[in-house]
Amino acid sequence: MTQLHRLNNVTILLVDGDSMVRNSLSLAFKVSRSFLQTARTGEEALPDVAKNYFDMILFDFNLPKMDGLTFFRKAQKIHPSALYIGTPSWWNDKLVKEAFDIGIHQIVLKPFSIKTLSEILLSLIENQKPVDSQPATLSSGSDSIDEYRLSGESGYPSSLYGRAV
């Protein structure tokens, strides 16, 4: 059983160009008592960020029209109190460093399971503190981003990165 049912009254915006990701997470979140709104692009999501309160904003780095980091920079100016979680399907060391340097709270690499995502979201909500200037850290305890390189056809690692919040 996932932890989604424990995310009571959490408002989440999911910004992802992949309809399968949006639809899958929409279905999964129906079991929770949280509210999930979706958008396909950053341009589509920004008016929602301005009009609505969100506890968390999940977004892909490779969005149509506007990349995810640009979306983050614009959204964070509008809604600085939200927790921002990047959900890239590809990454490199420079991108991950930049994401943490500009203030993204967590990175969860795709593909991820609903169980993994729900555990991360619950942990972020339960441990929410004001974001400070602490350096980015890897939540698995690794000392190096390089330890998370892809291996063959196994796809992306299930490991995740986290910023101390």
Residue numbers of the chain with a pLDDT score lower than 50: 1, 129-165
3-state SS of the chain is: CCCHHHCCCCEEEEECCCHHHHHHHHHHHCCCCCEEEEECCHHHHHHHHHHCCCCEEEECCCCCCCCHHHHHHHHHHHCCCCEEEECCCCCCHHHHHHHHHCCCCEEECCCCCHHHHHHHHHHHHHCCCCCCCCCEECCCCCCCHHHHCCCHHHCCCCCEEEECC
Annotated domain spans of the chain: 4-163
Return the pLDDT at 152. Answer: 27
Identify the architecture of domain 4-163 in CATH. Answer: 3-Layer(aba) Sandwich (3.40)
Return the pLDDT at 14. Answer: 97
Return the pLDDT at 163. Answer: 44
